[in-house]
Structure 1
Amino acid sequence: MDLQASVDEAASRTGFSGVVRVDRAGTTELATAYGLADRAHRIPHTLDTQLGIASGTKSLTALTVMALVERGALALGTTARSLLGDDLPLVADDVTVGHLLAHRSGIGDYLDEDAIDSITDYLMPVPVHRLATTEQYLSVLDGHDTVSRAGERFTYNNGGYVLLALLAERSTGTDFHRLVGELVCEPAGMGDSAFLRSDELPGHAAVGYLHRDGLRTNVLHLPVVGSGDGGLYSTAADLSAFWGSLFAGRIVSPDVVAEMVRPHSDWPEASERYGLGFHLHETSDAVWLEGADAGVSFVSLHQPSSSLTWTVLSNWSAGAWPITSLLRARLSN
């Protein structure tokens, strides 16, 4: 069975809803939209639908920070405390930008994934409408005890990436969402990528659903506007453009890219390694963005050695994983 037929069959069997795209050496080999972007109004997905990428946003946060490092506004050795002042007193004085990027800060996490029973639970500790700007996240980042010494070990940390967004804002005096747009999306040619409010989505954006069937959305489950750890909406075409621009040095320099996709930590629990904002394969040069939230599942992978890029975007909580597994099995070298 050829790849298109295999993806079609898996999409039909699993109720996949979203967009799948595969590119190799600049040629699009597969690009197909499935299911409904808005179930209540029976609006189908198209190849141009904007879908949430959840924690895939972290890679763009990391690139924003590294672009600021290149410009001298931050350094990997900049301490969080130097910009926090009296805010977040439980963040240790020696935690640096470099620690936060590598998930080696040791700070407590406002959204500890190891303690989550189900991704569709109501996880936000405050009403979601109170989380619309990065500064507003201070209320949920505060009060979490240090769990390890800075640099001691890798622990995936959502709050650390919101803190990076806050440091980016305070070092520049510019809104974080604007920084991502100017420093990453514009040079990458990602014209359809942005932080959208979940309670006023435009007509070309997909509504996120908790389950394969039904009309229950994720609007009460996620911050109304994401920040450094999630919340960007993007398209399959934009993500394809992202990888080409990243490795061509159009976002940050090739030397910085190499540092970001170099393994900084082993992550045996996930059978992978981690760089600075990027997931890395255990043995190959494959690098990817990944996100999972209530109403969102997403992977976009690039393998430089084979010039292969593939992206799976879905607007329900577990929708992307069967297609992701199929593409990993069919396309891995």
Structure 2
Amino acid sequence: MGAIAAVTEPIRTILVDSWHAPLLSSKIVQSLRDAVDALADRTGFSGVVRLDRAGETEFSAAYGFADRAHGILNTVDTLFAIASGSKGLTALLVMALVESGTFELATPARSLLGADLPLISDDVTIEQLLAHRSGIGDYLDEDTIESISDYVMPVPVHELASTEQFLPVLGGHETVFPAGERFQYNNGGYVVLALLTERATGIDFQQLVRTLVCEPAGMLDTAFLRSDELPGRAALGYVFADGLKTNVFHLPVLGNGDGGIYSTAADLSAFWDSLFAGRIVSPEGVAEMVRPRSDWPQESKRFGLGFHLDATGDGVQLEGYDAGVSFSSRHYPSSAMTYSVMSNWSGGAWPIMRLLDERLGI
């Protein structure tokens, strides 16, 4: 126990500041940095925190361990899983295919599914799946999950290595409400979207995301990685704040449309810049995706197509939460400000994100 405790003690490992243009005063940045450091020490935070404004990095800091058993520290370049943050990339892939004429937002899912998933109603459209307004049954209904540390996959996770392998778990779920009637967050709907992109193009979903989203965005380190073949730069996901139990048996061995891509804090900053510069999809496509489709009062948010939106104002968010993963990245176009928190344990990101929200006036 003593050896493990020594390895898992929270440590701040790297801090990199860029002062090309001091957009926030040094006093404000120092105060924020000190507050993040103190909270990270109190909570045992493991991960990376980064703040950018107008293309300049105000600060970037890494804490804790990527691999607790071997004492490998997180760095600002560590790859972290972002769970449902991947849904924004899935949505952008779909919009890129819409803009290329492959299909339309109004295209019925049934036209590409054929005889598969017969419980999905004939009138469910791609747009409704993107907006969480499809009403289809969900293979992973978050309202029924008691604890993030539960084992919730309905089949052995090694069997979920391709989109087509999800068909047995996506099927058999009755419609919950008529298509378009209301908002209800739905993980399965985003795997269905991944399936539709493959059926329409004949190309694997993960490769489509790489080619049509990550490369145009300059996200060169972002990729779907198998959990049983992680490279040395990737952080293991820990189910609890201390101890050595990882999430390798909790999640699909390879991420898909609803989550599981790995990224870095630098790639996330590149993502937001590229998104609003129109380098992934057109500015008109971006505007369509961040147009509020639904209120989400339980989360004090709204939702567009693949993106969380602040309840008021222009804030756009990606967010993810899974066993061994907690992640949030926020961008404010009006102030050109981005801040991201990536953590490799289930509850790590939220206290730091709340602090940033409070200190940055969000």
User: What is the TM-score normalised by the length of structure 1?
Assistant: 0.99
How far residue 200 of structure 1 moved from its aligned partner, in angstroms, is 1.1
Q: Distance in 2 between matches of 1:98 and 1:175?
A: 21
Q: Which amino acid aligns with 1:234?
A: S
Matched, 1:172 2:201: yes
The correspondence for 1:293, drawn from 310, 322, 334, is 322
SS at match of 1:179: helix
Matches within 5 A, 1:45-124: 45-124=74-153
Matches within 5 A, 1:240-255: 240-255=269-284
Q: Distance in 2 between matches of 1:268 and 1:319?
A: 24
SS at match of 1:31: strand
SS at match of 1:246: helix
Q: Distance in 2 between matches of 1:220 and 1:98?
A: 32
How far residue 104 of structure 1 moved from its aligned partner, in angstroms, is 0.3
Q: Which amino acid aligns with 1:32?
A: A
Unaligned runs of 5+ in 2: 1-29
Matched, 1:271 2:332: no
Query: Which residue does 1:315 correspond to in 2?
Result: 344
The correspondence for 2:354, drawn from 319, 322, 325, is 325
SS at match of 1:2: helix
Q: Distance in 1 between matches of 2:220 and 2:72?
A: 22
Unaligned runs of 5+ in 1: none
Q: Alpha-carbon deviations, 1:251-302, whole Å to 9, x = none?
A: 0000010110110100011110000000000011100100000000000100
How far residue 229 of structure 1 moved from its aligned partner, in angstroms, is 0.2
Q: Distance in 2 between matches of 1:38 and 1:78?
A: 45
Query: Which residue does 2:190 correspond to in 1?
Result: 161
SS at match of 1:65: helix
Q: Distance in 2 between matches of 1:332 and 1:220?
A: 39
How many residues in Structure 1 have an aligned counterpart in Structure 2?
Answer: 333
Q: Distance in 2 between matches of 1:41 and 1:213?
A: 14
Query: Which residue does 1:302 correspond to in 2?
Result: 331
Query: Which residue does 2:32 correspond to in 1?
Result: 3
Q: Distance in 2 between matches of 1:250 and 1:6?
A: 35
Q: Distance in 1 between matches of 2:141 and 2:232?
A: 33
How far residue 139 of structure 1 moved from its aligned partner, in angstroms, is 0.9
User: Which has more radius of gyration?
Assistant: 2
How far residue 74 of structure 1 moved from its aligned partner, in angstroms, is 1.4
How far residue 30 of structure 1 moved from its aligned partner, in angstroms, is 1.1
How far residue 25 of structure 1 moved from its aligned partner, in angstroms, is 1.0
Q: Alpha-carbon deviations, 1:219-265, whole Å to 9, x = none?
A: 00000001000010000000000000000000000001011011010
SS at match of 2:254: coil
Q: Distance in 2 between matches of 1:188 and 1:332?
A: 28
Q: Which amino acid aligns with 2:336?
A: S
Matched, 1:43 2:72: yes
Matched, 1:261 2:290: yes
How far residue 88 of structure 1 moved from its aligned partner, in angstroms, is 0.4
Q: Distance in 1 between matches of 2:206 and 2:103?
A: 17
Q: Distance in 1 between matches of 2:39 and 2:212?
A: 37
Q: Which amino acid aligns with 1:137?
A: F
Query: Which residue does 1:190 correspond to in 2?
Result: 219
- The sequence identity of aligned pairs, in percent, is 71
Dislocated runs of 4+, deviation >4 Å: none
How far residue 332 of structure 1 moved from its aligned partner, in angstroms, is 2.7
Q: Distance in 1 between matches of 2:344 and 2:129?
A: 29
SS at match of 2:334: helix
User: What is the TM-score normalised by the length of structure 2?
Assistant: 0.91
How far residue 123 of structure 1 moved from its aligned partner, in angstroms, is 0.3
Matched, 1:201 2:244: no
Q: Which amino acid aligns with 2:90?
A: T
Q: Distance in 2 between matches of 1:182 and 1:240?
A: 19
Q: Distance in 2 between matches of 1:199 and 1:215?
A: 16
Q: Alpha-carbon deviations, 1:54-81, whole Å to 9, x = none?
A: 0000000000000000001110011111
SS at match of 2:121: coil
Query: Which residue does 2:11 correspond to in 1?
Result: none
Q: Distance in 2 between matches of 1:243 and 1:189?
A: 10
Q: Alpha-carbon deviations, 1:160-183, whole Å to 9, x = none?
A: 000000000000000000000000
SS at match of 1:166: helix
Q: Alpha-carbon deviations, 1:160-212, whole Å to 9, x = none?
A: 00000000000000000000000000000000000000011100000000000
